[in-house]
Structure 1
């Protein structure tokens, strides 16, 4: 049993090394979001999966390899509202249920995947292009892609 656990741990470490090396070699700037992992582990349904991913080890490897290869490495604050802001117009819509995976920005008419939107925001914050406060205060509406005719209500898209 111990050999099996060691084999699984070695496989995970090997994967983390390969992924971190690939990311650092292919990019000049690496920006990660500081996550509240200790708070996430308190969720009984997700704690085991989160613990086994090795997020802290991945961050440490990326930091070390960035320094080794002369790349810029940044970590943005965990309190930056990356999942609550439209990457196109800067409108802050607040907390949205995790079951919603796509949003439609009514002011720009763009459909956005939630994860891709967060990635764009992390890049903007990490590179110093923070949202203009005037743009963020603009009146904007969003809706889930599944219900484009109800701009005042956000619902989970069907089929996911």
Structure 2
């Protein structure tokens, strides 16, 4: 038995109040990311010291007391913004990505991520329940199997204004070996034909 992840993406139709909250969350997660990115850069440039995620996570409640509007959005989304910053730094130092950049308000695609805990993300009929948003209408074109566990959700908005949610799930499955009769066919590329098999069968271009 092994655990796997699979994401399901759906179009959602928030009402005006919900759309305002989503847009506020975009702005707040961007603010948190940029504020703590600036702190990391300043500390490193001035003292050659680095800051860990745990240290900045402890400072987040202080920032929320300073900027009270941060309390109006999903607190987990703010924490995830910090984790995204930490991951960006790790990718940079491990030479998998460029140095983290400040997030722009003018970005054409906006998103934030939140984590499932105590049933705060769940499907109810033709709606999905999301933190701070309540039940949001959803275009439910593909069902999530009952044995799949919802782990997180990413709410996004495309340049055309449409809202989407990508639901990340986890499930357990067996790896079933595919029976083989040892009849292996090799394929060789040919310029004149599409392929030439080891059994000398040819397939021509149309």
Q: Which TM-score band (shorter chain)? A: under 0.3
Higher strand share: 2
Q: Which of 1 and 2 has greater Rg?
A: 2
TM-score by length of 2: 0.23
Higher helix share: 1
TM-score by length of 1: 0.28
Relative contact order, CA 8 A, sep 6+: which one is greater? Answer: 2
